[in-house]
Amino acid sequence: MADEKTRKIQELMHQQEKIRNIAIAAHIDHGKTTFSDNLLAGAGMISKELAGKQLALDFHEDEATRGITIDSASVSMVHKLDEEYLINLIDTPGHVDFSGEVTRAMRAADGCIVLVDAVEGVMPQTETVLRQALKELVKPVLFLNKVDRLIREVKLTPQEMEKRFISVINHVNELISNIAPEGYKEKWKVTVSEGSVSFGSAFHNWALSFQYMKSKGITFKDVIDAYQNDKVKELAKKAPLHEIVLEMVIKHHPNPVQAQKYRIPKIWHGELDSEIGKSLINCDADGEPVFVPTKIVVDRHAGEVAAGRLFSGTMKQGDDVYMNLAKRNVRIQQVSVYRGAHRMVVDEVSAGNIVGVVGLKDVFTGETVSKKPMEPFEAIKHLFEPVVTKSIEATKAADLPRLVEILKQIRKEDPSIKIEIDEQTGESLMSGMGELHLEIIENRIKSEKGLPVKTSPPIIVYRETVSRESPSAEGRSPNKHNSFYMRVEPLENDVYEAIKSGELREGRVKKKNEVIFNVLSGLGWSGDMIRDVKNIYKGNIFLDETRGEVHIGEVMEMVLDAFEMVMNQGPLAREPCMKLKVSLDDTRLHEDAIHRGPAQVYPAVREGILEAMRKAGSYLLEPLQIHVIEIPDKFLGAVTKLVGSKRGQMLEVKQEGTQAEVKTKLPVAEMIGWSNDLRSATEGRGTSSLLDQLFEKVPASIQADVIRKIRRRKGLSENQ
């Protein structure tokens, strides 16, 4: 890669009118990877021989086989039309969207290429991704791929080919006019006459637009001839894919300054007249810096790299910035842009670009990073507690080290997946937000990494809590010399919410903590009580209410260990506890430290808390999910029935054109096989995405049965 290119990219990133930020909307297997590689190769960003085989966008594959650091979050290329342009192509996941990743990727783009396999036509995922794009006011153009198959496999005549194209174009336009917001339904239709449609073969590296055919005197018949007379290479020389496609992008997609004028009011709900509002609308490089990460990639050298869109201002190494959702200050360690698929560290990045930022510790996608606190871009999106667990192991024992490697990587890249690795037995546990979530991970391991794995049926993780305050319960140590008097009660809802939202940070409390003091006194706790808080753990709080006990400091860490043990395994079914306030009322301790070691303290405290919970009416909570199901409206009846059959509840139904959106609440325990059930109920046209997750009391009629089953599975006695 010539240094000339590097210099060019650095120059162009400051010329906003020369930038295009784009994404690809495609159904899986329609050729997105092959297509992107050919664009990159055409623009001289990877070698031509390797294009199509190199899979530059496929970070995992590439990293494994070539051992270099490639960042899949975004790729950039320079293309010369009348002048040179910088095109940033942001990666979108190639699987069913589960966590809003597509939406967030789309947020960074202003234009998208809808890529459709000409043989298969528009498929459900084409529709879903296009929908996400239009919601974010990302402007579409159309590319019909795999035209070679129409010629070689389907053997269409020139007339039939034209007819086929028109039918796909009409289908895409029907979707656009159904889905696009008012004002864009007509304006954003793709048309042959204006050149926002092109077609070709990513595999054979050629493409055509109707204008190009006219200007070069190429006909459909010529294309068919090329295949019949072994002249495909010539065709690819005459009409190289990247030239046609990148010209379409440059001409039809907006530059960031044009796009932010209409996109900002749609995707940011702050005061548009404020200084920061104006800076965003104008994509002002001299304004306030505002960065929205859309993908986090773990880089072997730099660690966590947040890739995303710099909507305004400039950012550089050493800048102190504020993460508005996490409510934390951090310092930027590195800023970068992309050169081909490589991340290139630069001195400074400026508004309107897709950039990489290092130093935003523990950042999540969708965060809004700015200099001063501001209205964030996206409503806070919790990372949900994992509620479904599956064991996973390599089919072949020899693959174990690779599986462990892959699982470690996944754990870093998808913070919503929890993984417990057992490097000895090879059986690891992965826990996620739902069965579908784990299925996606499993498929990624199988297809993307080519590693055969076996998984167990999914297990639902419940929670335990109490309904009322208990009396003080004594827990005695095995040597009978120590007693701990424990009391439990339900934790107030607003306190629990403050923990869940991160306002109250979890962890042991060593000294006076101002944040905890402010939050809890704001919620009505007395100063005395707040001073007693010793631990905030998994949505539970521990209070030390003993007074004047001389040895308490010596045993407190052990008491807290034991508290955490019970919070991980409650009395009913050894499921984790939540929403508990646990108090240590009093103690009786042996004078001599030797008689109050862990072997004495642990069982005593554990027994005290468990006993208190039993006396406080403990019960089981089950996870439920709020899902938004999108379907063509004719399947509304079928979906209503399906939801009903799963103890689910319909919360809201919205209709728009021929499309319906259903909000439902479903117990996770009943969602096993959900994606298959939804598929069969909707002929594959329904998609469902997770909106929220909550816990509710298991219906009384089934609680005993659920507890019995869990205890049996864990090999516990039937009696609690």
Closest distance between ligand GDP and the C-beta of residue 442, in Å?
Answer: 17
Closest distance between ligand GDP and the C-beta of residue 52, in Å?
Answer: 7
Closest distance between ligand GDP and the C-beta of residue 36, in Å?
Answer: 8
Comparing CB distances to ligand GDP, the nearer of 248 and 430 is: 248
387/205 Cα distance (integer angstroms): 45
Comparing CB distances to ligand GDP, the nearer of 37 and 611 is: 37
590/202 Cα distance (integer angstroms): 78
306/312 Cα distance (integer angstroms): 16
Comparing CB distances to ligand GDP, the nearer of 95 and 411 is: 95
Closest distance between ligand GDP and the C-beta of residue 147, in Å?
Answer: 7
Comparing CB distances to ligand GDP, the nearer of 150 and 643 is: 150
Comparing CB distances to ligand GDP, the nearer of 72 and 587 is: 72
Contact in structure between 488 and 613 (CB atoms under 8 Å): yes
Q: Residue 259: which of 22, 11, 559 has the closest Cα?
A: 22
Contact in structure between 68 and 61 (CB atoms under 8 Å): no
Q: Residue 138: which of 121, 171, 115, 113 has the closest Cα?
A: 113
Comparing CB distances to ligand GDP, the nearer of 202 and 473 is: 202
Comparing CB distances to ligand GDP, the nearer of 146 and 343 is: 146
How is residue 487 written in tokens?
A: 């009391």
Would you give the DSSP letter of residue 348?
E
- Chain centre distance of CA 205: 32
404/129 Cα distance (integer angstroms): 32
Comparing CB distances to ligand GDP, the nearer of 213 and 716 is: 213
- Chain centre distance of CA 282: 29
The contact set with ligand GDP (CB under 6 A) reads: 26, 28-34, 94, 145-146, 148-149, 201-203
Closest distance between ligand GDP and the C-beta of residue 28, in Å?
Answer: 5
220/161 Cα distance (integer angstroms): 8
Contact in structure between 324 and 305 (CB atoms under 8 Å): no
Comparing CB distances to ligand GDP, the nearer of 26 and 250 is: 26
Comparing CB distances to ligand GDP, the nearer of 149 and 261 is: 149
DSSP bridge partners of 619? 465
Comparing CB distances to ligand GDP, the nearer of 243 and 304 is: 243
Comparing CB distances to ligand GDP, the nearer of 33 and 600 is: 33
Closest distance between ligand GDP and the C-beta of residue 148, in Å?
Answer: 5
| Residue 653: Cβ-neighbour burial (10 angstroms; 0-12, 13-18, 19+) | middle
3-state secondary structure 158-207: HHHHHHHHHHHHHHHHHHHHHHCCCCCCCCCCCCCCCCCEEEEECCCCEE
Closest distance between ligand GDP and the C-beta of residue 597, in Å?
Answer: 59
Contact in structure between 110 and 21 (CB atoms under 8 Å): yes
Contact in structure between 95 and 447 (CB atoms under 8 Å): no
Closest distance between ligand GDP and the C-beta of residue 38, in Å?
Answer: 9
Q: Are strands 473-476 and 342-346 parallel, antiparallel or unpaired?
A: unpaired
Q: Are strands 84-90 and 74-80 parallel, antiparallel or unpaired?
A: antiparallel
192/173 Cα distance (integer angstroms): 12
75, 78, 79, 83: CA torsion to nearest 10: 140
Closest distance between ligand GDP and the C-beta of residue 342, in Å?
Answer: 20
75/22 Cα distance (integer angstroms): 10
Comparing CB distances to ligand GDP, the nearer of 145 and 482 is: 145
Closest distance between ligand GDP and the C-beta of residue 202, in Å?
Answer: 4
The three-class DSSP label of residue 226 is helix
How is residue 447 written in tokens?
A: 């297809």
For helices 32-42 and 241-252, the axis angle rounded to 10 degrees is 90
E strand segments, 11-166: 19-26, 74-80, 84-90, 111-117, 139-145
Comparing CB distances to ligand GDP, the nearer of 125 and 465 is: 125
Comparing CB distances to ligand GDP, the nearer of 201 and 693 is: 201
195/172 Cα distance (integer angstroms): 15
Query: What is 2-32 written as a DSSP string?
Result: -HHHHHHHHHHTT-GGGEEEEEEEE-TTSSH
Comparing CB distances to ligand GDP, the nearer of 53 and 547 is: 53
Contact in structure between 126 and 145 (CB atoms under 8 Å): no
What H or E segment, with its residue span, contains residue 147? Answer: helix 147-152
Closest distance between ligand GDP and the C-beta of residue 489, in Å?
Answer: 53
Contact in structure between 649 and 710 (CB atoms under 8 Å): no
Contact in structure between 695 and 688 (CB atoms under 8 Å): no
Closest distance between ligand GDP and the C-beta of residue 707, in Å?
Answer: 44
Contact in structure between 381 and 297 (CB atoms under 8 Å): no
The number of C-alpha atoms within 13 Å of 69 and in the hemisphere containing its C-beta is 13
Closest distance between ligand GDP and the C-beta of residue 110, in Å?
Answer: 22
505, 510, 513, 517: CA torsion to nearest 10: 80
Closest distance between ligand GDP and the C-beta of residue 118, in Å?
Answer: 9
Comparing CB distances to ligand GDP, the nearer of 26 and 349 is: 26
Q: Residue 465: which of 578, 367, 320 has the closest Cα?
A: 578
Closest distance between ligand GDP and the C-beta of residue 66, in Å?
Answer: 18
Closest distance between ligand GDP and the C-beta of residue 234, in Å?
Answer: 17
Closest distance between ligand GDP and the C-beta of residue 30, in Å?
Answer: 5
